[in-house]
Amino acid sequence: MAKSHLRKCLALAFCVYMITACSHKNVVVLVPDPDGRVGSITVANAAGSVEIDTANESTAIRDAETAPGAPAEMKQKDIDKLFGQALAIQPQPPVHFILYFEKNSTRLRPSSLAMLPDILSAVQARRSEHISVVGHSDTLGDKSYNLALSERRALVVQKLLVKKGVDEAFIETTSHGEENPLVKTADNVGNPKNRRVEVVVR
């Protein structure tokens, strides 16, 4: 009697040990975006799912056959302890700039030219070695002309950046012609929003 009880106890202890030792416990935490906004996540497996839409709420999932645990707040110091190194290496989000041009021209609009210092400080802040410069046009005129125009626009921006000290090797220049408009229009329609160069600083 006592012997079988002991055996049961041992078996139970062994089970508990196996579960803790072998489980690939997962923890998922929702944290605010860099701008302070809080999104939402769904954590799901075959056994169930949990929704989280509150900052610093977390769920623990024991294994794929066990439903994710009820959301619980994770203290900031625990977040730092668990994820400090992953967060320390997190790159700054890329920045996008849109520079507009005069009609059928490679001349930058004054308000866009004025954005150059912002681009340069974004390059410096990120020590960026990966800058995309993508030229576009509106649909006025024929396709091949617009492809060439968008290419010339991209080159103008590339040269401006190089002149201000950005290493040419870090700039990747491409041109999309009229194929990738910001505002969709019929063919042969002039649109100031489509006469542009997009710069992405990563």
Partner 1 sequence: MKLASLLMLSVAISIFSFAPCVAAEEFVGLVKSVEGQASIARGGETKEVVAGMDIKMGDVLKTGGDGSVGLIFSDDTIISMGPRTELAVEDYLFEPIEGKLAFIARILRGTVAYLSGQIAKLSPESVQLVTPAATIGVRGTHVLIKVD
Do strands 131-135 and 196-201 pair parallel, antiparallel, or not at all (unpaired)?
A: antiparallel
CA 160, CA 165: separation in Å to the nearest integer? 9
Query: Does 147 participate in binding partner 1 (rule CB under 8 A)?
Result: no
CA dist 179 and 197 (Å) reads 13
Length of the chain in residues, anyone? 202
Q: How far apart are CA 134 and CA 156, in angstroms?
A: 11
For the record, the structure tokens of 102 come out as 């005069």
Which of 3, 24, 77, 163 forms a contact with partner 1 (CB under 8 A)?
Answer: 24
Site string for partner 1, 26-45 (x = CB under 8 A): xxxxxxxxx--xxxxxxxxx
According to the binding rule CB under 8 A, does residue 182 interact with partner 1? no
Spatial distance between the Cα atoms of 93 and 34, rounded to a whole number of angstroms:
9
* Binding segment toward partner 1, per CB under 8 A, in 115-123, 125-133, 136-144, 155-163: 125-133
Using CB under 8 A as the binding rule, the residues of this chain from 47 to 66 that contact partner 1 are: 61-64, 66
Rounded to the nearest whole angstrom, what is the least distance from the CB of residue 59 to partner 1 in the complex?
A: 8
Burial class (CB in 10 A: 0-12, 13-18, 19+), 200: middle
Q: Give the contact letters, 63-102, x = binds to partner 1 (CB under 8 A), - = no.
A: xx-x-x----------x--xxxxxxxxxx-xx--------
* Least distance to partner 1, CB of residue 19, Å: 12
Taking the complex as a whole, how short is the minimal distance between the CB of residue 193 and partner 1, in angstroms?
A: 16
